[in-house]
Amino acid sequence: MSTPGHGFSITLDDILHQYGSSIAVDHVTLEIAAGELVSLLGPSGCGKTTLLRIIGGFIQQTSGRVIVGGRPIDDLPPNKRAVGIVFQNYALFPHMNVADNIAYGLAARGEDRASQKKRCGEMLELVQMAHLADRLPRALSGGQQQRVALARALAVEPRILLLDEPFAALDKSLRLDMQIEIKRIQRQSGTTCIMVTHDQEEALSMSDRVAVLNRGKLEQFSTPSEIYDRPQSLFVNQFVGSANQLHGTLTPLSATECEVLLANGQRLRCAAPREALSEGSAVIACVRPESLRLGIDDIDIGIAATVELGMPLGPTIVHEVVTDDGLRIKTSEPRLPGLEPRAPGTRISVSPLAATSIQVFSASA
């Protein structure tokens, strides 16, 4: 059984990958600690899968180095990299039962039957599939197949586990169960894990740190809360969570705050921009729906607006409101008992909860 502390650290040192003349991975440098779960997050075509395959040794990068546990591994083939990989479609062997699928890698490296059986038993236990050891993959649900794929990858005690969109084929409730399960198994085994996903919620909820990629470039590599609360770029702000974007001009105030003058003459207190921007710069103030409070028009101080649409969305109530000068703004508030969506046409006022919850970026970036 793998033990905590088993995983290797991974350094991606200035990785560039070109397919012909087009750049898929653009000088990415990342330091991943041993035992960390890191997500590669970004829109379709941003280079996530290419980067994962470079780490696995299935693609040779154009330039740059992959260093695992302090040693460059660029000359090693995939089977010598101590890497386990779970593909999107699980790729189980259809004619082998669950136990044989899990034992495959152990048999391939010549382990005797007794140790194969022992390790396979441990893995079945870990993924809670012991009762289905004799089943063929076609007689398993998607989630069960995924657990077998995971057990097969973990059986050979990889120092690194690579997951390529591992939940893509699962429905929503099963996905949540499997996300929790993989996190548990990864913690328990201590394996360093890199997961490709385009689902920001998944990345934020599962990862120790998230690497956001855009057009092959690394935009930000931080903890989920830093990514969400302090995005470093307009791209990260837009891609992770939704944000209302309000155009205006900047007045710097202090090291931590600034003021943005909106087109309607309204002044908004915001967090100071990360980049040095001069007075009068055209900026975009980004405020997340849950950072806005809806008040009663004429009583609360805020931007006067009219409700266009209100609807319950899981544990929240979402409103789309239009300010008197035509700005469309989304708000989201906890669905407390007795709180119903406001009817279309209701006059309300909108105000931000805190200046620090509004991020400001240059409009010309």
Q: Which residues would be at the binding site for ligand ATP (CB under 6 A)?
A: 19, 24, 42, 44-50, 198
Gap between the terminal Cα atoms of the chain: 50
Residue pair 119/189 in contact (Cβ under 8 Å)? The answer is: no
Minimum CB distance to ligand ATP smaller for 24 or for 30 = 24
Minimum CB distance to ligand ATP smaller for 12 or for 268 = 12
Least distance CB 167 / ligand ATP (angstroms) = 13
Please give the helix or strand (H or E) that residue 234 lies within, else none.
helix 234-239
Residue pair 88/164 in contact (Cβ under 8 Å)? The answer is: yes
Minimum CB distance to ligand ATP smaller for 19 or for 93 = 19
Minimum CB distance to ligand ATP smaller for 212 or for 318 = 212
Least distance CB 83 / ligand ATP (angstroms) = 17
Convert 169-190 to b/e letters by CB count within 10 Å (16 or more is b). ebeeebbeebbebbeebbeebb
Helix or strand or coil: residue 15?
Answer: strand
| CA 154/CA 127 separation, integer angstroms | 10
| CA 144/CA 189 separation, integer angstroms | 19
What does each C-alpha distance from 3 to 48, 187, 332 come to in angstroms?
29, 9, 43
Least distance CB 48 / ligand ATP (angstroms) = 4
3-class SS string, 112-172: CHHHHHHHHHHHHHHCCCHHHCCCCHHHCCHHHHHHHHHHHHHHCCCCEEEEECCCCCCCH
Least distance CB 63 / ligand ATP (angstroms) = 16
Minimum CB distance to ligand ATP smaller for 183 or for 198 = 198
Least distance CB 327 / ligand ATP (angstroms) = 33
Least distance CB 202 / ligand ATP (angstroms) = 13
Minimum CB distance to ligand ATP smaller for 47 or for 143 = 47
Q: Which two tokens stand for residue 150?
A: 């995971």
Minimum CB distance to ligand ATP smaller for 50 or for 291 = 50
What does each C-alpha distance from 145 to 75, 94, 138, 193, 240 come to in angstroms?
33, 11, 9, 19, 30
Least distance CB 54 / ligand ATP (angstroms) = 9
